[in-house]
Amino acid sequence: MAQQGKQQLRLWLTGIVLLMSCFYSPLRAAEVDSQPCLNQGEKWRLAYYQGGDYRDYYQYLRVTAEGLMEQGWLSPKTIPSQLLSARELWDWLRVNVESDYIEFLSDGFYSADWDREYRAELREQVVGRLQKAGEINLILAMGTWAGIDIAVDKHSVPTMVISVNDPRSAGLVQDDESYRHIYVPEDPQRYERQVTLFHDLIRFETLGVAFEDSFEGRSYASIETIERLAEERNFQVISCHTQSDIADQIQAEQSVIDCFNELAEQVDAIYVTVQGGINNHTTPVLVDIANQHSIPTFSQYGHDEVKLGYLMSLSQVEGFRDEGRLLSHTAGKILNGGEPASLMNVSAEADRITLNLKTAEQIGLYLDAEMLAAADQLYWQIEQP
């Protein structure tokens, strides 16, 4: 009787494990939920790949982890504010956060450190590991470099591409069946809406754009969209080439400052693009250059930079929080068997206009009642980082 009881208990425990497990076989989005589950009785093995350190990568990893905590995939724990990089956060999550479902691999954090030669070597190493069954169950590809390197058809591991400015121009939006394991969120008209709004309000004849003249740099800046709009709307684009994705941060920052000084003498307005040399160190300098020359500026990045002195932007006021919930929900669906490419991956950024009134005053720009009424958020001062 005792032996029979043990067998019944073993069968019951096996049933519970199977009940709480999800077998990864791609399902359409409507067929899956995002509830925590095991990988056939084992934890899901997560990895991460980035081109190098960038301010948003830490934020995206943080809000995704917090979303997974909210959904029960990870035990709730407050993430320390002193963590500064995605690598530090990954190590902290691996050591300090308990989970019955997910393992942050100790050897699963990869960064090319903005070194193009090392990038080629690292890409082959990571793709080779992804080709080994069971080594990695889900990988986060953070940024355009990572998306280009990891969102490929050489492996079939579910891949979430995150924090890519213009995935379509980077070649990351694929309809081919061999890319069904790739999830890429996209807002196709985001930068068209930004530049169109900027031109509607300022009516500039020459638009300055500083960007790195590389495949990735042109994608970050959405240059194809800007050039098309310039032709349609009859304004001229004045370009200045920077260095963005390089290991020498000081050099990247100085290249942007040099370009702003050059553009300020030639253009009516500047579209401030996302790149490695624009950050809390350089933004006050860039704002001073533009404002001293009475040049209206539009932040591609969003309202956080308007707070620091760029004239305006069109972005999500809520910031990363909502995106983190979406990304964690998507990760849950993928681990429940959802086919990454079939999940909802087209988003439309809320059209929320942000203006800095102090900047408008400094550059002598008159904001009429209609423009002020259209703004969703106003900053009355130029804040320091």
Asked whether residue 247 falls in the same domain as residue 372, the answer is: yes
- CA-to-CA dists, residue 250 to 211, 257, 276, angstroms: 16, 11, 10
Nearest CA among 253, 216, 208 for reference residue 50: 216
Asked whether residue 233 falls in the same domain as residue 127, the answer is: no
Measured distance CA(285)–CA(218) in Å, rounded: 23
Starting at the edge strand found earlier in the chain, the sheet holding 312-314 runs: 236-242, 206-212, 269-272, 297-299, 312-314, 353-356, 377-379
pLDDT of the residue at 360: 97
Asked whether residue 171 falls in the same domain as residue 196, the answer is: no
pLDDT of the residue at 165: 87
Asked whether residue 75 falls in the same domain as residue 116, the answer is: yes
Question: Which range marks the domain in which residue 215 is found?
Answer: 190-316+350-379
Measured distance CA(334)–CA(105) in Å, rounded: 18
Instruction: Name the band, by pLDDT with cuts 50, 70 and 90, for residue 187.
Output: confident
pLDDT at 5 over 90: no
pLDDT of the residue at 372: 87
pLDDT at 149 over 80: yes
- Domain total in the chain: 2
pLDDT of the residue at 11: 42
pLDDT of the residue at 6: 38
Asked whether residue 74 falls in the same domain as residue 151, the answer is: yes
Strand-pair partners of 142: 50, 162
Residue 17 counted as domain residue: no
Residue 74 counted as domain residue: yes
Residue 385 counted as domain residue: no
Q: At 33, which CATH number? A: 3.40.50.2300
pLDDT of the residue at 343: 87
Asked whether residue 335 falls in the same domain as residue 264, the answer is: no
pLDDT of the residue at 229: 98
The pLDDT tens digits of the residues spanning 307-322 come to 999 999 987 655 678 8
Percent of the chain with pLDDT over 90: 76
Query: Averaged over 318-336, what is the pLDDT?
Result: 87
Residue 10 counted as domain residue: no
* 340 within 8 A of 159, measured Cβ to Cβ: yes
User: β-strands 206-212, 138-142: how paired?
Assistant: unpaired
Nearest CA among 26, 20, 64 for reference residue 42: 20
The pLDDT tens digits of the residues spanning 219-235 come to 999 999 999 999 999 99
Query: What is the enclosing helix (H) or strand (E) of 141?
Result: strand 138-142
Strand-pair partners of 15: none
Asked whether residue 156 falls in the same domain as residue 55, the answer is: yes
Residue 7 counted as domain residue: no
Instruction: Name the band, by pLDDT with cuts 50, 70 and 90, for residue 176.
Output: confident
**Mean pLDDT rounded to a whole number for the chain:** 90
Residue 287 counted as domain residue: yes
Measured distance CA(173)–CA(133) in Å, rounded: 25
**End-to-end CA, the chain:** 72
Asked whether residue 159 falls in the same domain as residue 236, the answer is: no
Query: Averaged over 326-351, what is the pLDDT?
Result: 83
Residue 2 counted as domain residue: no
pTM of the model: 0.86
pLDDT at 280 over 70: yes
Asked whether residue 177 falls in the same domain as residue 262, the answer is: no
Asked whether residue 79 falls in the same domain as residue 48, the answer is: yes
Asked whether residue 253 falls in the same domain as residue 168, the answer is: no
Percent of the chain with pLDDT over 70: 89
The pLDDT tens digits of the residues spanning 257-273 come to 999 999 999 999 999 99
Residue 289 counted as domain residue: yes
Asked whether residue 258 falls in the same domain as residue 227, the answer is: yes
